[in-house]
Amino acid sequence: MPDQSVLPRQFRVVGQRKRRPDGIDKVTGRARFGADMTAPGMLWGLVLRSPHPHARIRSIDTSKAEALPGVKAVVTGRDFEGGERDDVSINCMAGGKALYDGHAVAAVAATSKHAARAALKLIEVDYEVLPHVTDVDAAMQPDAPLLHEDMVTDGLQPPPDRPSNIAARHEIGHGDVETGFAEADEIVELSFKTEATHQGYIEPHACVASVSPDGSADLWVCTQGHFMVRNVCAAMLGLESSQLRVTASEIGGGFGGKTTVFIEPVALALSRKANRPVKMQMTRAEVFRATGPTASSSVDCRVGVTKDGRITAAQAELRYQGGAFAGAGADMGAMAIFTPYDIAHVKAVAWDVVTNRPKLAAYRAPGAPMAAFAAESTLDEAARRIGMDPLELRLKNAAREGTKAAYGPTFPRIGLTACLEAVRDSAHYKAPLGPNQGRGLACGFWFNFGGETCTTVNVNKDGTIGLSVGTPDIGGSRASMCAMAAEEFGVPYEKVRTVIADTASLGYNDVTDGSRVTFSSGLATIQASRQAIKRLCQRAAIMWGIDEEAVVWEDGHAKPASPNAGDFAPLSLAEIAAESANTGGPIAGHHEVNAEGAGVSFGVHLCDLEVDPETGFVKVLRYTAAQDAGKAVNPDYVEGQMQGGSAQGIGWALNEGYVYGEDGKLQNAGFLDYRIPVASDLPMIDAIIVEEPNPGHPYGVRGVGETSIAPPLAAVGNAIRAATGVRLTETPMAPPRILAALDAKVGDPDGRMTGQERDAPGKKARDGLPDDGLP
């Protein structure tokens, strides 16, 4: 970790609620998003998708489509065989099998949308329909339909001798859980299931591709990482990276879902074949069917506590399916599940499973929300068993500086207890509740990420600053970059303009993910600015005829370091820049880094809601989210991240979820029946920013984008438990489920647990205890 000494300091620009520089284009309709681009001679591209969840593709006859007037190119999996044919490539265009309902099998480019649509109907695909499986527990059964003949579970000793749908097993932990459980006065054991959700960004994927016969190519695309798009597409199509220039459009939401490619390589392949630019734009139904939703999960969780509230042991088995390819992220869930707490004995086993569903993509703290749902619901039940306030139980066991997390690291300064105390001290925590109302609390954790970053800053001759970063702005990061550069240079915020440079203009930048941009691009911006400031001082030294060591930078001016250096009036940045032609040419700074020290992030959420006992309808009444931001560069947008993540988590908890029929087809591929929260579903969301500086960043910044989606599932579930007496263990906790649980309680005098746990579909008779062998 680089030594980034975080000293208490007064900030001039950082920490202020500055207006975002890209805002005016966005309120006037001028901002150009993925679908807002056109090109001369442009064709329209459309994709033909499999109607079957699992089918062998015997043959594809494209001749009739190709013969249709206006059709300029048709591609199938064959057109991708020249390049790298990995999971991502096969996901973009099927090979020998269609692996899920919506899997791309062919694509056309035509002079009009009409012609393209007509051409799709003329493509004849001969399918041999195969048995399918979409549920994670069912997919783990020995007799389940097999997706990949060559998939042998990784992480088992000895390796299995036959293929299965289980891609990998992971285990993390420390101590000995049985010793820990032996110390417990109460052991709570529950099983949970969560359905897959979708990021639900409002902008469907869109791009314009143009490939020339000489191999040079341009791609305009809405993405969280245009350098990733370049590298992946170049490898897939056999292009050279230098020849493929990718420009990131404004991006209409991503939340992790735009960290991979879907239509981009297809558009390039069509353009190459047609020798014309090709525009592609997914429909909303395609977005749901064929982009990257989350994993669905099945989790067994067991927690032991003493009567006085010490967590003695925690154990979990997490089974995630992430669609038709390996990489469900169960390992991330296992690493995150008990991390908010200082527990001596922890064990978490993760199973990574494939099913006939679209390949998952990241979604805000991927893998963590379902893990937190299990852990935080189980803890809530444990607090009830011992009669302790759930916040007190958490405070008593909260991870703090020096706590060794089960996934390895020993934490430096972290903000969990500060978040818990902030919630405890809030007016919300003490507010009275009415009949049928309940309050739920939950904690959440996310790792955060640094990663490869490359940033350039240019000092213009008029004293303004041009900043080029390579990380697409998905939530106001240009405003934060401007603020950090202005802070360093000592110029007004308005004097800095930040652009997202294309792939030909900067070195590689990792995608905008892992809550990394304000941290990593911010860090690189600060360091690049410092380099430019060093050069400004050199130029001032030349102008004054003194040694550069004798010049310092203060308040946007070069000044002699001491009276000994000479008696010179301070030179402003603008004055030095204006003279730059005479002192050595343009002035710039640059920084490239593979950033470490991102600094983990914790959040604590509090939810009040009311349940209609006759219908199971849930109304969220009040919501508070506290989160450690390290240092909030722009509090408006930190709050926005917390509020947005909370809303997404509430949606996940209550009404969002993929619905697959017995036929393996997605039944709710639209915003009508995939029910994200609307404005009238939510109250105001109070955001409490806690600032425990991150020692890994010059300003103490931590990523803030993801943590906020981890706590809401359990916060909502715990509030429903408090309001009704029933524990929901399956998302979405939609009215039919709640009403069924309430009805089951009527027949259950104990009323503590519902039929939900006993009847959880897919939960096998394993005494609720995770085991280590294959199921």
Partner 1 sequence: MRYEAPETLDAAVALLAGESGVAKVLAGGTDLLVQLRSGMLEPALVVDIKRIPETRRIDAEAGGFRIGAAVTGAEMGEHEELVAAWPGVVEAMELIGSTQIQGRATPGGNLCNASPAADCVPALAAAGATARIVGPDGSRELAVEDLVEGPGKIRLKRGEFVASLFLPERAAGQGDAYLRFIPRTEMDIAVVGAGVCLTLDGDGRCTAARVALGAVGPRVILAEEAAAGLVGTTLDEAALEALAAATSAAATPIDDKRGTTDFRRKVVGVLARRAAAVARDRAQGEKA
Partner 2 sequence: MTVTVTTTINGDHEEFVCEADETLLDALRDHLGLTGSKEGCGTGDCGACSVMLDGRLVCACLVLAAEAEGRRVETIEGMAEGGELHPLQQKFLDAAALQCGICTPGFLVAAKALLERNPDPSETEVRYWLAGNLCRCTGYDKIVRAVLDTAAEMRSA
* 614 in contact with partner 1 (CB under 8 A): yes
* 739 in contact with partner 1 (CB under 8 A): yes
Give the list of residues 6+ apart from residue 528 with CB closer than 8 angstroms, or none: 455, 456, 457, 467, 589, 590, 591
Cis peptide before 732 (omega within 30 of 0): yes
Q: Which helix (H) or strand (E) holds 349?
A: strand 346-353
> Shortest gap between Cβ of 650 and partner 1 (angstroms)?
11
Q: Which stretch binds partner 2 (CB under 8 A): 397-405, 490-498, 567-575, 678-686?
A: 678-686
| Tokens of residue 695, six digits | 């020692």
Give the list of residues 6+ apart from residue 24 with CB closer than 8 angstroms, or none: 30
Check: CB of residue 517 under 8 Å from CB of residue 484.
Answer: no
Give the per-residue contact string, 686-715, with partner 2 (x = CB under 8 A; - = no): -x----------------------------
- In angstroms, rounded to a whole number, what is the distance separating the alpha carbons of residues 305 and 316? 15
Neighbours of 518 (CB within 10 A): 34
> Shortest gap between Cβ of 718 and partner 2 (angstroms)?
20
One-letter amino acid of 434: G
Q: In this complex, which beta carbon is closest to partner 1, that of residue 336 or of residue 654?
A: 654
Rounded to the nearest angstrom, the gap between the alpha carbon of residue 183 and the centroid of all alpha carbons in its chain is: 38
Q: In this complex, which beta carbon is closest to partner 2, that of residue 66 or of residue 636?
A: 636
- In angstroms, rounded to a whole number, what is the distance separating the alpha carbons of residues 393 and 383? 7
Q: Work out the widest C-alpha separation in the chain, in whole angstroms.
A: 91
Contacted by 639, from partner 1, partner 2, none: CB < 5 to 8 Å by type: partner 2
Give the list of residues 6+ apart from residue 179 with CB closer than 8 angstroms, or none: 313, 345
Contact pick of 12, 64, 148, 284 for partner 2 (by CB under 8 A): 284
- In angstroms, rounded to a whole number, what is the distance separating the alpha carbons of residues 612 and 124? 51
- Residue 279, SS3? strand
In order, the DSSP letters of 327-348 are ---HHHHHHHTTTTB--SSEEE
Give the per-residue contact string, 190-209, with partner 2 (x = CB under 8 A; - = no): ---------xxxxxx-----
Q: Which helix (H) or strand (E) holds 648?
A: helix 635-654
* 668 in contact with partner 1 (CB under 8 A): yes
> Shortest gap between Cβ of 502 and partner 2 (angstroms)?
20
* 673 in contact with partner 1 (CB under 8 A): yes
Q: In this complex, which beta carbon is closest to partner 2, that of residue 222 or of residue 393?
A: 222
270 phi, psi to nearest 5 deg: -65, -45
The length of the chain is: 775
H-only helix segments in 177-263: 177-182, 226-237
| Tokens of residue 346, six digits | 């922890």
Per-residue burial over 5-20, b if 16 or more Cβ lie within 10 Å, else e, is ebeeeeebbbbbebeb
Contact pick of 39, 561, 659, 753 for partner 1 (by CB under 8 A): 659
Size of the site for partner 2 (CB under 8 A): 58
| Tokens of residue 94, six digits | 């099927």
One-letter amino acid of 45: G
Q: In this complex, which beta carbon is closest to partner 2, that of residue 203 or of residue 380?
A: 203
* 734 in contact with partner 1 (CB under 8 A): yes
Q: In this complex, which beta carbon is closest to partner 1, that of residue 560 or of residue 651?
A: 651
* 158 in contact with partner 2 (CB under 8 A): no
Strand partners, 595: 451
> Shortest gap between Cβ of 736 and partner 1 (angstroms)?
4
One-letter amino acid of 400: R
Contacted by 617, from partner 1, partner 2, none: CB < 5 to 8 Å by type: partner 1
Contact pick of 6, 12, 15, 31 for partner 2 (by CB under 8 A): 31
* 654 in contact with partner 1 (CB under 8 A): yes
* 266 in contact with partner 2 (CB under 8 A): no
| Tokens of residue 71, six digits | 């059709």
Q: In this complex, which beta carbon is closest to partner 2, that of residue 292 or of residue 693?
A: 292
Contacted by 26, from partner 1, partner 2, none: CB < 5 to 8 Å by type: partner 2
Cis peptide before 712 (omega within 30 of 0): no
| Tokens of residue 470, six digits | 């390579």
Q: Which stretch binds partner 1 (CB under 8 A): 40-48, 257-265, 667-675, 703-711?
A: 667-675
Give the per-residue contact string, 82-121, with partner 1 (x = CB under 8 A; - = no): -----------------------------------x----
Contact pick of 7, 161, 680, 750 for partner 1 (by CB under 8 A): 680
Size of the site for partner 1 (CB under 8 A): 26
Give the Cα-Cα-Cα angle 280, 281, 285 (nearest 5 degrees).
Answer: 135
C-alpha radius of gyration, the chain, whole number? 28
CA terminus-to-terminus distance, the chain: 41
> Shortest gap between Cβ of 611 and partner 1 (angstroms)?
13
Q: In this complex, which beta carbon is closest to partner 1, that of residue 494 or of residue 759?
A: 759
Q: Identify residues 204-263 at the interface with partner 2 (CB under 8 A).
A: 204, 250-255
Q: In this complex, which beta carbon is closest to partner 1, that of residue 46 or of residue 416?
A: 46
> Shortest gap between Cβ of 615 and partner 1 (angstroms)?
5
* 765 in contact with partner 2 (CB under 8 A): no
Q: In this complex, which beta carbon is closest to partner 2, that of residue 277 or of residue 696?
A: 277
Contact pick of 17, 215, 667, 761 for partner 1 (by CB under 8 A): 667
* 616 in contact with partner 1 (CB under 8 A): yes
Burial of residue 356 (CB within 10 Å: 0-12, 13-18, 19+) is buried
* 681 in contact with partner 1 (CB under 8 A): yes
Strand partners, 189: 302
> Shortest gap between Cβ of 270 and partner 1 (angstroms)?
21
Strand partners, 210: 218
User: Can you give the binding site for partner 1, defined by CB under 8 A?
Assistant: 117, 285, 614-617, 619, 654-655, 659, 667-668, 671-673, 675, 677-678, 680-681, 734-736, 739-740, 743
* Chain residues in the site for partner 2 (CB under 8 A): 17, 19-20, 22-33, 35-36, 114, 199-204, 250-255, 281, 283-284, 474-476, 636-637, 639-640, 643-648, 670-672, 676-680, 682, 684-685, 687
